[in-house]
């Protein structure tokens, strides 16, 4: 496994993807304007951890020309230059950023300027009210051409470059390998193994494979959402649900697996549990089939919900999936329902090639055989291609039986 060159990925994203996205979205310029203490989260995408005084980062297209300009206080310019992302880095002293930014914008003369303001996309909402006021002082009437940069940022960060997809595939396949080894009689010993000890086994295995752990959730008994493993002892007849992901070079997998711990004498899982798993699998397949360029996140979500409802189950109380990358919940279109006050407009963003998603439609139900509510647990990671999505690695196709 080779290391990932994150600096090269940043350069490729800015030099290759960004100008194409600006053209696709008919936007002339994208401006990030920030300072310390209320630092714009997008700054890390430029390979910068910190800036003190006001700084402007401007990317603009004019005909066939793509301009990359930074304007910063004289003591802030060195790390900006070292990123290698900018054609020009202009330092300012007592005159401040204002005259340089005004001159740069006038030279470009953009009809539209995208700025980092968004109702729903957190990473695209870094422009503070105070800095917006400063831009109005600086640019005057030109601020009427401001548009939200959220779709530019989502498209730029959600489309993964080949090296990123390769790293994600390593993380996902490693996660699958670790989960497959964990959900076996050798690792799950009824009456002895706890949720916590099973999670520790998986973490140790990840370390052996030179990977980290993005997050860990091991649940037996009642469903409890995103929850850390406990000291509950796993028993015969338990249903194990694991939501877990390894990391490789910072890239995160997000996989769920479901297993049944057989009671003495049992040779198969109960029929009602198999039916739950099969319906969950069918919904997962329906979602992935809808995950193709041109569709929206809400279209993928609708396909999964229709599948479960057709099989007689209630809709689940969350989205169907999300982008993965350097975060488990990465930037990208949200595979979710039209619940505006929860998910906003992100569910209407278009699916694009080279985006990578975790897909997780689930069933929440209180079976007659149990005295608590259960959730099923199946989540797969997929890469979107020109014609549709493909599973990474080997997806789960049947309920795991531990006996």
Q: What is the pLDDT along the chain (403 residues), one digit of tens a residue?
A: 789 999 999 999 999 999 999 999 999 999 999 999 999 999 999 999 999 999 999 999 988 899 999 999 999 999 999 999 999 999 999 999 999 999 999 999 999 999 999 999 999 999 999 999 999 999 999 999 999 999 999 999 999 999 999 999 999 999 999 999 999 999 999 999 999 999 999 999 999 999 999 999 999 999 888 889 999 999 999 999 999 999 999 999 999 999 999 999 999 999 999 999 999 999 999 999 999 999 999 999 999 999 999 999 999 999 999 999 999 999 999 999 999 999 999 999 999 999 999 999 999 999 999 999 999 999 999 999 999 999 999 999 999 999 9
Find the Cα–Cα–Cα–Cα dihedral 278, 294, 349, 322, rounded to 10°.
30
84 CB-side CA count, 13 A: 9
**Cβ atoms of residues 357 and 389 within 8 Å:** yes
- With a threshold of 0.85, does the pTM exceed it? yes
Query: What's phi and psi for 62, nearest 5 deg?
Result: -145, 105
Q: What is the pLDDT of residue 1?
A: 76
Q: What is the pLDDT of residue 222?
A: 92
Give, rounded to a whole angstrom, the gap between the first and last alpha carbons of the chain: 35
CB atoms within 10 A of CB 230: 15
Closest Cα to residue 356, out of 389, 383, 336, 331? 383
3-state DSSP call for residue 189? coil
- Per-residue DSSP letters for 217-238? EEE-SS--SS----SPBP-TT-
Region of 195 please: left (phi>0), alpha (psi -120 to 50) or beta. alpha
Please state, in angstroms and rounded to a whole number, the distance separating the CA atoms of residues 342 and 301.
14
Please state, in angstroms and rounded to a whole number, the distance separating the CA atoms of residues 258 and 235.
15
CB atoms within 10 A of CB 396: 23
Q: Which domains does the chain have, with CATH numbers?
A: 6-156 (3.40.350.10), 160-402 (3.90.230.10)
**Cβ atoms of residues 206 and 176 within 8 Å:** no
Please state, in angstroms and rounded to a whole number, the distance separating the CA atoms of residues 164 and 41.
20
DSSP designation for 314? P
Q: What is the pLDDT of residue 122?
A: 94
Region of 109 please: left (phi>0), alpha (psi -120 to 50) or beta. left
Please state, in angstroms and rounded to a whole number, the distance separating the CA atoms of residues 68 and 312.
55
Rg (CA), the chain: 24
Closest Cα to residue 390, out of 257, 291, 271? 291
Within 32-191, where are the H helices?
A: 77-82, 98-108, 129-139, 150-158, 162-182
3-state DSSP call for residue 60? strand
Burial (Cβ within 10 Å: 0-12, 13-18, ≥19) of residue 156: buried
Instruction: Give just the sign of the alpha carbon dihedral 143, 144, 148, 149.
Output: negative
Q: What is the pLDDT of residue 364?
A: 97
Task: Determine what percent of the chain falls in helix, strand and coil, rounding each to the nearest 5.
Answer: 40, 20, 40
Q: What is the pLDDT of residue 274?
A: 98
Contacts for 241 with CB less than 8 Å, ≥ 6 apart: 217, 218, 219, 220, 223, 256, 257, 258, 375, 376, 377
Closest Cα to residue 143, out of 120, 118, 114, 119? 114
């Amino acid at each position: 496994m080779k290391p990932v060159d994150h600096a090269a990925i940043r350069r490729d994203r800015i030099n290759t993807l960004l100008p194409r996205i600006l053209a696709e979205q008919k936007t002339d310029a994208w401006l990030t304007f920030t300072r310390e203490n209320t630092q714009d989260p997008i700054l890390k995408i430029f390979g910068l951890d910190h800036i003190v005084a006001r700084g402007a980062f401007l990317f603009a297209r004019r005909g066939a020309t793509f301009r990359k300009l930074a304007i910063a206080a004289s003591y802030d310019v060195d790390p900006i230059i070292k990123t290698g992302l900018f054609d020009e880095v202009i330092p300012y002293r007592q005159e401040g950023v204002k005259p340089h930014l005004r001159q740069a914008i006038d030279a470009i003369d953009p009809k539209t300027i995208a700025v980092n303001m968004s109702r729903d996309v957190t990473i695209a909402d870094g422009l503070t009210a105070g800095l917006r006021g400063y831009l109005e002082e600086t640019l005057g009437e030109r601020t009427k051409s401001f548009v939200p940069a959220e779709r530019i940022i989502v498209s730029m960060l959600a489309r993964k470059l080949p090296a990123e997809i390769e790293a994600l595939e390593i993380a996902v396949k490693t996660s699958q390998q670790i989960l497959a080894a964990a959900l076996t009689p050798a690792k799950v010993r009824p009456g002895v193994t706890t949720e916590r000890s099973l999670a520790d086994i998986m973490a140790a295995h990840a370390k052996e494979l030179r990977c980290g752990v993005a997050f860990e959730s091991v649940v037996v008994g009642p469903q409890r959402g995103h929850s850390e493993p406990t000291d509950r002892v796993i028993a015969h007849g338990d249903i194990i649900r694991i939501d877990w992901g390894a990391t490789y070079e910072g890239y995160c997998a997000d996989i769920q697996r479901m297993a049944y711990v057989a009671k003495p004498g049992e040779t198969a899982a109960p029929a009602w549990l198999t039916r739950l798993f099969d319906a969950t699998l069918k919904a997962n397949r329906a979602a992935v089939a809808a995950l193709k360029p041109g569709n929206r996140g809400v279209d993928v979500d609708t396909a999964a919900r229709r599948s479960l409802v057709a099989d007689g189950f209630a809709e689940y109380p969350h989205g169907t999936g999300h982008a993965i990358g350097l975060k488990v919940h990465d930037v990208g279109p949200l595979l979710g329902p039209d619940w505006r006050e929860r998910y906003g407009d992100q569910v209407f963003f278009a699916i694009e090639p080279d985006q990578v998603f975790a897909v997780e439609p689930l069933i929440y139900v209180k079976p007659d055989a149990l005295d608590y509510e259960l959730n099923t647990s199946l989540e797969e990671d997929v890469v979107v291609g020109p014609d549709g999505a493909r599973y990474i690695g080997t997806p789960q196709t049947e309920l795991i039986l531990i006996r």
